[in-house]
Amino acid sequence: MDFAAIMKQVNDFVWGPVMLCFLVGTGIFLTVRLKFKPWLNLPYAVKMILNKKDNTEGDVTPFQSLMIALSATVGTGNIVGVATAMVLGGPGALVWMWISAAFGLSTKYGESVLAVKYRETNERGEMAGGPMYAMKNGIGGVAGRVLAFLFAVFAVCASFGIGNMTQANSIAAAFNSSFGVDPALIGSILVILSMVILFKGVRSIGAVSSVVVPAMAAFYVVMALIVIVVNAGNLPAGIGEIFRMAFAPEAVAGGVGGSIIASMLTAMRWGVARGVFSNEAGLGSAPIAAAAAKTDHASRQGYVNMTGTFFDTMIICVLTGLVIASSGMLGTIDPETGKAVSGAQMTILAFSSVFGEHARVIVSTSLALFAFSTILGWEYYGEKALEYLVSNHDILVAYRVIFSFITYIGATQTLDLVWDFSDTANGLMAIPNLICLLWLSKDIASECFDYEDRVVVREKQGEKVDLSAEG
C-alpha cells in the first residue's frame, strides 16, 4: 500500500463516524450543561457584534476578532462542501448540517470562552491564546502540556495545507476556468498580497477581514437570494425533498438528468461532516482569534464568536443548499464522466438556472474571495500555534515569509495528497480540543452563568454594562 492510500485511510478514520459523534456529542453535552443559554442568547449575541471595548485588554475589537475567525471559516466549504454533501448524502444532508451547527453554537461558545479566560500576553504585548493555552493553564500538568503540544503541531500543519495550499489552488482553478488566467500569475499575486497584509500583523488582518468578509458574504447572499426568489415556484418541493430525505430510511431525489439515492444515515454522515468542516466548531481554530479580542468578560467574546457558526452554516450554507434545491439541477449527470455533477460545478449549475453563463463568474469570484480570506485567517492561526511551540520572533517572521510563498505552490500544483494530509491534520486538531472542552466544562459553565447574572439580564433590560469599569 502506497503512502497516498495510507493517508486516505487515516483521513477516512479521522473524519469517520466516531469523530463526528465525538464532535456533535460534545456540542449536545455543552448545550445541556449550559442550560441552552447559547441558543436562548443568540439574538443577544448578534446584537453585541459591533460593541467596542477599547478600554479593555486585547489587540482587536470584538467585531474584528469575529471577522478574522469568519475569514478562516467562510470558505470553499460554503460553496463546494454543501454541494458535495447534497450529492453524496442527498438533499437531506442540509438538515443534518443545520442540526450539527445548532449544537456547534455551544461548542464554539465554550472554546472561545476558554481561549479568553486562559490567554496570555506575549513579549511584544500581544495576546496569545487558544486551546493550547487553555490546555496548559486550565488542565495543567503533563496531560495539559501534551495536549497543548499536539494541538499546536496539528494546527501548524493544517495552516499550510487546508489553510493555504488548497485555498490557493481553489483560487487559481476558479480564475483559470472562468477568465483563462494563468495559475502562475495568480500564485504570484497571492504571494504579494499575502506578504503585504500579513507582515503588518494581526491588526492588519483584522482590518482587511472586517471589510472583505462582510462584503463578500453580502455579495454571495444577494446573488443566492435572487436565484431562490426567481425559482420560488420550485422551493416548496425542494424544501419538502430536503426534509423527506433527511429522515427517510432510503429515498430517491430526482434532478433534470438523473437521481440521487441516499439513506438517513448517509444524509447524517455527509451533513454533519461538511457542516463541521465549514463552521469549524470543535476544531479549535476560531478560539485563537477570539483570544485577541478586547473584552471585559470571557463569556462576552464567547457569545460574539459563537455567531460565526450561525452566519457560516445557518445562513450562507443553507442559502447555497436552497439555491441547489430550488434550481432543479440536483442529480444532473455529467455526460463526460457519467457521474452526478458535484462540488463547485453543481453550485455553478444551480446559479446558471437564473444567471446563465454569468453563473461561472459569480461562483468563481465568490469562491476566490472566500478562499483568500481563509488564507489570511489561517496564517494567524498557524503563527499563534507556532508561537506557542517556538517563541523566537525571527522564526515567526520566517513563518510569514514561507507561508506567503507557499501560496504559489498551492496555486500551481496538483494537491490530492496534500489535501488528504492537511484534512487529517485539521481533524486531529479536534481531538485534544474536544478533550479540553469536556475536561474544563465546569469552567465554561461557571463563566456562562456568572455573565448571565452580572451582564445578560441587565443588558436585556436596556442597561449598558462594562465590567472593566466596574472593577
Domain ranges of the chain: 3-459
Whether 253 shows a pLDDT value over 60: the answer reads no
Q: Average pLDDT in the 188-198 region?
A: 87
Task: Answer whether residue 256 shows pLDDT above 50.
Answer: no
The answer on pLDDT for 377 being more than 70 is: yes
CA gap 454, 447 in Å, rounded: 10
pLDDT confidence bin for 201, thresholds 50/70/90? low
pLDDT band at 422 (very low <50, low <70, confident <90, very high): low
pLDDT for the residue numbered 116: 92
| Better-predicted residue by pLDDT, 429 or 125 | 429
Q: Which of 109-113, 205-209, 244-248, 361-365 has the lowest mean pLDDT?
A: 205-209
Q: What is the pLDDT of residues 310-329, one digit of tens each?
A: 888 888 888 988 998 888 87
pLDDT of 215 higher than 50: yes
**Residue 79 grid coordinates:** 460553496
Statement: residue 296 has pLDDT above 80: yes
Q: What is the per-residue pLDDT for 438?
A: 96
Q: Are 5 and 417 in contact (CB under 8 A)?
A: no
pLDDT at site 374? 85
Confidence band (pLDDT; 50, 70, 90) for 299?
very high
Q: Which of 58-62, 110-114, 319-323, 411-415 has the lowest mean pLDDT?
A: 58-62
Residue owning grid cell 433590560: 461
Rounded to an integer, the average pLDDT of 22-27 is 91
420 pLDDT band, cuts 50/70/90, is: low
Average per-residue pLDDT for the chain: 83
What pLDDT does residue 36 have?
Answer: 95
What's the whole-number mean pLDDT along residues 13-38?
89
**More confidently predicted of 326 and 278:** 326
Per-residue confidence (pLDDT) for residue 443, from 0 to 100: 96
pLDDT at 419: 63
- Using a pLDDT cut of 90, give the percent of the chain over it: 25
**Highest mean pLDDT pick, 100-114, 338-352, 423-437:** 100-114
pLDDT in the model for residue 91: 82
**Over residues 267-288, mean pLDDT:** 82
For residue 297, give the nearest of 189, 179, 452 by alpha carbon. 452
Could you tell me the pLDDT band of residue 436, with boundaries at 50, 70 and 90? very high
Res 459 pLDDT > 50: yes
Instruction: Indicate the length of the chain as a whole number.
Output: 471
- Contact predicate 158/385, CB 8 Å: no
Give the pLDDT band (50/70/90) at residue 470.
Answer: low
- 363 pLDDT more than 90: no
Task: List, for residues 141-187, the tens digit of each pLDDT value.
Answer: 999 999 999 999 999 988 888 788 888 888 888 788 778 889 899 99
pLDDT of amino acid 54: 52
Question: Per mean pLDDT, which range of 93-97, 373-377, 422-426, 467-471 is the poorest?
Answer: 467-471
Residue 148: CA atoms inside 13 Å, Cβ hemisphere, count?
Answer: 26
| C-alpha dist (Å) from residue 451 to 33, 215, 301, 436, 455 | 15, 32, 11, 21, 5
Count CB atoms within 10 A of the CB of residue 414: 8
Burial status of residue 80 (CB atoms within 10 A of its CB: 0-12, 13-18, 19 or more): buried
* Least confident span in 236-245, 407-416, 462-471: 462-471
Note the pLDDT of residue 417: 63
For domain 3-459, give the CATH number: 1.10.4160
- Cell 472586517 belongs to residue: 210
**3-state class of 463 per DSSP?**
coil
Kindly state the average pLDDT of the residues 411-437: 79
pLDDT digits (tens, 9 = 90+) for 395-418: 888 999 999 998 898 888 766 666
Q: In the prediction, which pLDDT does 432 show?
A: 94
Of 226 and 417, more confident: 226
Is the model's pLDDT at 56 over the cut of 70? no
Q: Which of 80, 76, 226 is nearest to 163 (CA)?
A: 76
Count of other CB atoms within 10 angstroms of residue 363: 29
Judged by average pLDDT, the poorest of 134-138, 304-308, 341-345 is 341-345
- Estimate to the nearest angstrom the gap between the alpha carbon of 153 and the chain centroid: 19
